[in-house]
């Protein structure tokens, strides 16, 4: 297709309109986004609810496509409406301009993560309805806020409420990540996210002395142990070509602070680690190991979990899960090469899975530079339109399980 053809394509127009709504953190205003989604629901003749699981600043929009057997467990097509901040001086196109260049690249924050998926769902439903298709199971399209900062004001609370329970959800679609080669990534699990602050107490005094049991000595010991563990995970990745980043535990020191003056040995130093625990590592044993290192360092070290997500069972990817069978079989029938993976970050799927509902993360984007959260984020118009065709098949197959 030419640039003019892409510009005149109705689905591309809808996608670009969505991208131009700046639902960016911090202090997101979702008003225009909700109005856009209401118009989309009206165009599809789908009933729509707007609810507020936590507060009126964080709306959830739910569209309902009733199935022929609505008593069966339903399917949700989930996407988040918020996007991460931008550094405008690093962009060659306006981050909310949705500029389309001669090669069909659509530049905007959210083009990969994940407004593309939200409007691809809508486009697929539009096409299926136009062909007279009605799913066996009811399909809900859920558009949630707050995912990019943890989902605490969105999906986490939504799944706890009576509204969600009445949806009788059996399976959830959610986001994946672009792939830079011909394969498509399919995510069945996520690592467990911890943000751990360590507060090191120790002997204070003059900077000219060699005082015992200082906070700096303890910090050095524990940080070295954490970095040794980190190095072991790097080595695993280097030596085993069958695994990737989602299969190991990542440990990164992200913050350090403390001290009062350059010639005073401080009584307290602090560090923060971002830890993503692999699904194969025992959480209790790993926490005990960290606490043992603190004891070995000399004690008087406080561990404070600023975030400590629980272990969440992966979605089953075997014959016991009929949704998985339908999903994977459809991708195989389309001739798409897939890689089944553990998601390296954290998405709203963890809250859905924690509620006992199987979920798969999938974004139909391949042969594309991974630019989520990066400058000049873009998605090709041809990739976007092909993704709609994939979702048409997936939604039809899974909703008819």
Is residue 60 domain-shared with residue 205, that is, in the same domain?
A: no
Is residue 12 domain-shared with residue 157, that is, in the same domain?
A: yes
Which structural domain range is residue 247 located in?
192-308
Convert the pLDDT of each residue in 178-236 to its tens digit. Answer: 999 999 999 999 999 999 999 999 999 999 999 999 999 999 999 999 999 999 999 99
Residue 373 lies in a domain: yes
Convert the pLDDT of each residue in 315-339 to its tens digit. Answer: 999 999 999 999 999 999 999 999 9
> What pLDDT sits at residue 1?
86
> What pLDDT sits at residue 323?
98
Residue 245 lies in a domain: yes
Supply the mean pLDDT for the chain. Answer: 97
> What pLDDT sits at residue 307?
92
Out of 82, 157, 247, 348, the active site residue is 82
pTM to 2 decimal places: 0.93
Convert the pLDDT of each residue in 134-144 to its tens digit. Answer: 999 999 999 99
State yes or no: pLDDT of 358 exceeds 90: yes
Residue 341 lies in a domain: no
Is residue 113 domain-shared with residue 142, that is, in the same domain?
A: yes
Out of 113, 146, 147, 157, the active site residue is 147
Is residue 204 domain-shared with residue 162, that is, in the same domain?
A: no
Active site residue 147: yes
Counted domains in the chain? 2
Active site residue 162: no
| CATH number of the domain that residue 161 is part of | 3.40.630.10
Residue 48 lies in a domain: yes
Residue 184 lies in a domain: no
Convert the pLDDT of each residue in 101-115 to its tens digit. Answer: 999 999 999 999 999
Residue 20 lies in a domain: yes
Specify whether the backbone of 306 is left (phi greater than 0), alpha (psi in -120 to 50) or beta: alpha
State yes or no: pLDDT of 72 exceeds 90: yes
Convert the pLDDT of each residue in 124-175 to its tens digit. Answer: 999 999 999 999 999 999 999 999 999 999 999 999 999 999 999 999 999 9
């Amino acid at each position: 297709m030419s640039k003019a053809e892409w510009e005149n394509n109705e689905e591309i127009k809808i996608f670009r309109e969505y991208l131009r709504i700046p639902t960016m953190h911090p202090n997101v205003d979702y008003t225009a986004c909700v109005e856009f989604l209401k118009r989309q629901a009206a165009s599809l003749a789908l009933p729509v609810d707007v609810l507020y699981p936590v507060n009126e600043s964080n709306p959830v929009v739910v569209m309902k496509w009733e199935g022929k057997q609505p008593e069966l467990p339903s399917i949700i097509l989930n996407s988040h409406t918020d996007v991460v901040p931008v550094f405008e001086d690093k962009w060659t196109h306006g981050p909310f301009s949705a500029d389309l260049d001669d090669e069909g690249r659509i530049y905007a924050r959210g083009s990969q993560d994940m407004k593309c998926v939200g409007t691809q769902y809508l486009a697929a439903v539009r096409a299926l309805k136009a062909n007279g298709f009605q799913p066996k199971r009811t399909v809900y399209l859920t558009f949630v806020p707050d995912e990019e900062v943890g989902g605490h004001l969105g999906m986490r609370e939504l799944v706890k409420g009576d509204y969600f329970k009445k949806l009788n959800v059996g399976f959830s679609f959610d986001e994946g990540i672009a792939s830079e080669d011909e394969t498509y990534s399919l995510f069945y699990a996520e690592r467990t996210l911890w943000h751990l602050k360590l507060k090191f107490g120790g002997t204070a005094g003059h900077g000219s002395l060699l005082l015992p049991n200082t906070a700096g000595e303890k910090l050095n010991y524990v940080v070295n142990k954490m970095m040794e563990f980190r190095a072991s995970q790097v080595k695993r990745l280097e030596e085993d070509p069958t695994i990737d980043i989602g299969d190991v535990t990542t440990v990164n020191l992200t913050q350090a602070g403390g001290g009062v003056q350059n010639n005073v040995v401080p009584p307290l130093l602090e560090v923060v680690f971002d830890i993503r625990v692999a699904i194969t590592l025992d959480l209790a044993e790993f926490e005990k190991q960290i606490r043992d290192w603190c004891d070995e360092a000399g004690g008087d070290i406080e561990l404070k979990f600023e975030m400590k997500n629980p272990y969440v069972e992966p979605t089953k990817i075997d014959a016991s899960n009929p949704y998985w069978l339908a999903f994977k079989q459809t991708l195989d029938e389309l001739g798409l090469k897939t890689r089944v993976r553990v998601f390296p970050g954290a998405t709203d799927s963890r809250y859905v899975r924690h509620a006992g509902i199987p979920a798969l993360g999938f974004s139909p984007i391949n042969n594309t530079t991974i630019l989520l959260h990066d400058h000049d984020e873009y998605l090709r118009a041809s990739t976007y339109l092909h993704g709609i065709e994939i979702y048409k098949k997936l939604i039809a197959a899974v909703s008819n399980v």
